[in-house]
Amino acid sequence: MKRIFIFSIVASLFFTSCSGQSTSTTLDEQPEAIQLFNGKDINDWTPKIRLHEVGDNYANTFRVEDGLLKVRYDGYDEFNQQYGHLAYNTPYGYYFLRVEYRFIDEQAKGGEGWAWRNSGAMLHGQDPQTMLKDQDFPISIEGQFLGGNGTDERTTSNLCTPGTNVVVNNELFTPHCLSSTSKTYHGDEWVTAEFLVLGDSIVQHIMDKEVVLEYFKPQVGGGSVSNHNPDVKQDGKLLDKGFIYLQSESHPIDFRKVELYDLSPYKDDQEKLNKVIQNIR
C-alpha cells in the first residue's frame, strides 16, 4: 500500500510517497468518517443553479432515489448552460474527502461537448449564499470528474480553477485546467476519488491509492467564472477553507458516497496528522 508522509520544510508542507509493506498505526484518537450524504435526503445541502436563486433546486435536478444522490435533467427542455452546484452546508479547511460516483445514460439536450460525462467536486468553494443568480460556477478549486468513451484515454480527478489559481512546481499556475496522471474509467462503473486538503498549503488528488495530482497555495484569482459579485472575488487571497460542492454540468451522474474525515484537530501536530492520514488511507 502506498503511504503519505508529511514533513515540514521551510514553513511549507511537502509530501513524498513510497511503496512497500504497510504496518498499521494505532492512535488513541482517530476521526470518524462524516457522511456528508446520508443516503436519505439533501437537507444538509444547498443547491445553486445558474439562472435560479440560491436554494432553488430547479426541475428537481438534485434528488435522492434508491439510496443514491442523483443528478438528472428530465425536467429540462434544454440545458441552456444552467450549471448546477450542490453545496454542503458546513465549510471545512483540513480534511480527507472520499467521493464514489458513476456516469450513466445520455447527456441532456443542449449540453456542451466538453461537458459529456463531466462533473466534479468543488473544494474551498465560496459560500453559496454569496453567489449571484446568473453566476455560472462558484469561486473554488474543482476536482474534475471525467468518464471515458470506451476507446480514448481521458484522465479523471483533474484540476479546474473557476476564479482561482494554484502553485505548481513553485510557480503560479493560471490556466483553467490541469490533467492528472490517472487512468481512464470507461462505462458506468463506480469510481472512487479522494482528496487530501490541508488548508491553504497543499491539495492532493488520489485515485486507487496513488497521488495523481498535487498543488499548493490555492488562492482567489484568474478567470473562468462570470456574473459573480466582484466584492467576493478578492484576487490573491489564499483559500484555507470553504464549502464542498457536487456539480451538475448536463450529464447524469450518481453519487453513492460522499464522506469526509475532519483533520483540523491534528493540524498543529504534524506527526499525529501523518499517522491519521495513513490510517484513513
Question: Is residue 19 assigned to a domain?
Answer: no
Tell me the whole-structure pTM to 2 decimals.
0.91
Q: What is the CATH number of the domain that holds 121?
A: 2.60.120.560
Instruction: Please calculate the CA angle 246-175-235 and round it to the nearest 5 degrees.
Output: 75
- Bridge-based pairing of strands 118-125 and 141-146 is antiparallel
The CA radius of gyration of the chain, in Å to the nearest whole number, is 18
Question: Is residue 17 assigned to a domain?
Answer: no
- Give me 193's grid cell: 476519488
Question: Is residue 9 assigned to a domain?
Answer: no
Question: Is residue 211 assigned to a domain?
Answer: yes
Structural domain for 138, as ranges:
31-268
Question: Is residue 20 assigned to a domain?
Answer: no
Per-residue pLDDT of the chain (281 residues), as tens digits, is 334 444 333 234 434 333 333 334 445 578 999 999 999 999 999 999 999 999 999 999 999 999 999 999 999 999 999 999 999 999 999 999 999 999 999 999 999 999 999 999 999 999 999 999 999 999 999 999 999 999 999 999 999 999 999 999 999 999 999 999 999 999 999 999 999 999 999 999 999 999 999 999 999 999 999 999 999 999 999 999 999 999 999 999 999 999 999 999 999 999 999 999 999 98
Question: Is residue 72 assigned to a domain?
Answer: yes
The number of residues making up the chain comes to: 281
Question: Is residue 244 assigned to a domain?
Answer: yes
Question: Is residue 219 assigned to a domain?
Answer: yes
Domain count, the chain: 1
Helix (H, G, I), strand (E, B) or coil at 129: helix
